Every structure is written in C-alpha cells, then in structure tokens.
Amino acid sequence: RAKHEGRKRHCFFSQALEESLMARQEIEQWLRHAIRKDQLEVYYQPKIHLNNGQIYGAEALVRLKDPNGAIISPDKFIGLAEEVGLAPELGRQVLVKACKAAKKWLNTNSNFTISVNVSAAQLRSRLFAQELSDILRSIGFPTGNLEIEVTESMLMEDIDLVQNTFSACHDLGIKIAIDDFGTGYSSLSYLKKFRVDTLKIDQSFVRDMTTDKNDCDIVKAVIQLGRSLNIDLCAEGIELEEQYAQLREMGCEQGQGYLFGRPVPLKEFDQLLKDTVDLSLLQTNSH
C-alpha cells in the first residue's frame, strides 16, 4: 500500500514538474518572439512626492503578452531571461522604449525622472555605463532624468566592477536606486562604498507597517539611515491612506503604490499626466 501511494505521489510530482517545464518552454518561446519583433510592452507607474502628492516621475515595468493577449507578469520571465541569456537585450529594449516615452513627458515637467530596472546580467557587463550613454545620446534623452534600479544582491557579485560602473553612471549624471531595500542579504557597508541616490523601501515592510510594530520600526530605521547618509527614500507598495500619512510624517520623500496609481500602458500614462496638468491649470486659474 505504501508502495502504491509512493508511486502515485511520484506520478503527481513528475506531472507537475512536466507542466511547469512546459510552461517555461512556452514562456521562453513567447519571450524570444517578442524580443525579436520588438513587441515587449512597457507599463508605467507614477512616482509621487509624498509631501505634495505630485507626480515626479515613473517606473518602467516590462510586460509580456501570450498569444491570446493575456499579460504575463515579469516575475515569471525575468529570471528565465537571465538564465537563457535574453536579459541584456530585454533590458536594452525596455530602456529605449522608456526613454523615448519619457522624452515627451519632459515637455510638461523638465524634472521628470524615468526609473528603469536593471538585471544582474546587464550590470555584469563592463560596457554597461558606456552602452547607457550611447543609447541616451541616440535618443536625445538627458542623462540627469534617468534613474536605474538595482537590487542589493547584484551589488555583492563583483564589488570592483559595480563600483566602477556606478561611478561611471554618476559621472554621466545617471541616478542609482537600490530596489527592494532590506530584503537582500548584503552588508550595509556597501552604502558607504557605492554612490547611491535612493533607497526604495521594500513593499513587504510598507504592507504591514500600520499594524505590525516591527515593520513600522524597520521603516523608521531605514528612513533614518537614508537621512544620515544623505540618500533619498522611496516607499514601495503604498496602498492605504494610513500608510501614506505615516510615511509622510516619518519624512519619507517619495513613494509609489496602488493608492496613487497602478502601472499602466503608455497611452494611459500620457492621459494621466495630461489630466494632472489640466487639473493644476484649473486650480491656478480659479485662484
């Protein structure tokens, strides 16, 4: 009987494994196709000044569509892209699309900052900063309006290389943010070594900060850390008014989250910015 159950369980596992392998193969195929045809989509999520609620920029977030047009989340294909060597080209295409889009948005707000996520494979290239600079020049996008987001674990791979890349980026005027701050297993000493402009407080701390004292204390500590090192703070995943109020009170400068806006396609973000400008014109005129 035990033998029988064992076999059944074995069957169950191998079937699940086979299904997930097939799903991976399918996603890889769609991803290759989308990259070849330059059909990756980029969504934009507003980034907000917490003190006045105004939009100061956007984060570019890649999206892949399956043949039926259903959206596949990047959590399902970024790791895969890294494994099969597609991450550098994916990153390049997202950067080009995002900077072309943001170039228009600079017309309404010359301080508009576009944030682009960078993969480990991109950061591993010695030519990364040079490539960024070449792409920005060819688009005619000002380096000072680009921020790249990297995660902590990427920093510890090759410290000298990252240090060189970050200073080259800084010399170009490109800003650097540490994404998902607090979730990596890295040492804080890198904050002294690398020149970092922004710490993005991970959404897992923000989610429960109004109900869990530990999370609240962590958020407070990160804000103090940023302050004493003169690094800006951006809270991710703000969904509730209470979180917004607390973060603002704690002195967190920037934030993003569903409370202010979900990631949306290019056209919708265009409209969002336009509506915001119309609204502020309306307010100025009525005074």
**Cβ of 63: how many Cβ atoms within 10 Å?**
17
The radius of gyration computed from the CA coordinates of the chain, to the nearest angstrom, equals: 21
**Cβ of 192: how many Cβ atoms within 10 Å?**
9
As measured in angstroms, the least distance from the Cβ of 235 to ligand C2E is 10
Check residue 147 for interaction with Mg ion (CB under 5 A).
no
Residue 31 token pair: 């991803």
Pairwise CA distance, residues 55 & 262, whole Å: 13
The interface partner of residue 45, options being ligand C2E, Mg ion, none and the CB cut-off 5 to 8 Å by kind, is ligand C2E
Q: Which is nearer to ligand C2E, 7 or 33 (CB)?
A: 33
Distance of CA 60 to CAs 7, 26, 47, 84, 265, Å?
47, 25, 11, 22, 10
Residues engaged in binding ligand C2E (CB under 6 A): 45, 61-62, 73-75, 78, 91, 94, 117-119, 149, 179-180, 203, 236-239, 256-258, 263
**Cβ of 91: how many Cβ atoms within 10 Å?**
24
Q: Which is nearer to Mg ion, 152 or 179 (CB)?
A: 179
Pairwise CA distance, residues 139 & 34, whole Å: 22
Residue 120 token pair: 């480990």
From 64, 179, 219, 254, residue interacting with Mg ion (rule: CB under 5 A): 179
Q: Which is nearer to ligand C2E, 4 or 267 (CB)?
A: 267
- The residue with its CB nearest to ligand C2E is 257
As measured in angstroms, the least distance from the Cβ of 282 to ligand C2E is 28
Check residue 149 for interaction with Mg ion (CB under 5 A).
yes
Q: How many CA atoms lie within 13 A of 86 on its CB side?
A: 21
Of 225-254, binders to Mg ion (CB under 5 A) are 236
As measured in angstroms, the least distance from the Cβ of 260 to ligand C2E is 8
From 45, 113, 117, 256, residue interacting with Mg ion (rule: CB under 5 A): 117
Q: Which residue has the tokens 């959590």?
A: 75
Residue type, 127: L
**Cβ of 178: how many Cβ atoms within 10 Å?**
26
Q: Which is nearer to Mg ion, 149 or 287 (CB)?
A: 149
The SS3 of residue 41 is strand
As measured in angstroms, the least distance from the Cβ of 52 to ligand C2E is 20
As measured in angstroms, the least distance from the Cβ of 73 to Mg ion is 11
Q: Is the dihedral of CA 182, 178, 272, 111 positive or negative?
A: positive
As measured in angstroms, the least distance from the Cβ of 124 to Mg ion is 18
From 147, 152, 180, 253, residue interacting with Mg ion (rule: CB under 5 A): 180
Q: Using CB under 5 A, list all residues that contact Mg ion.
A: 117, 149, 179-180, 236
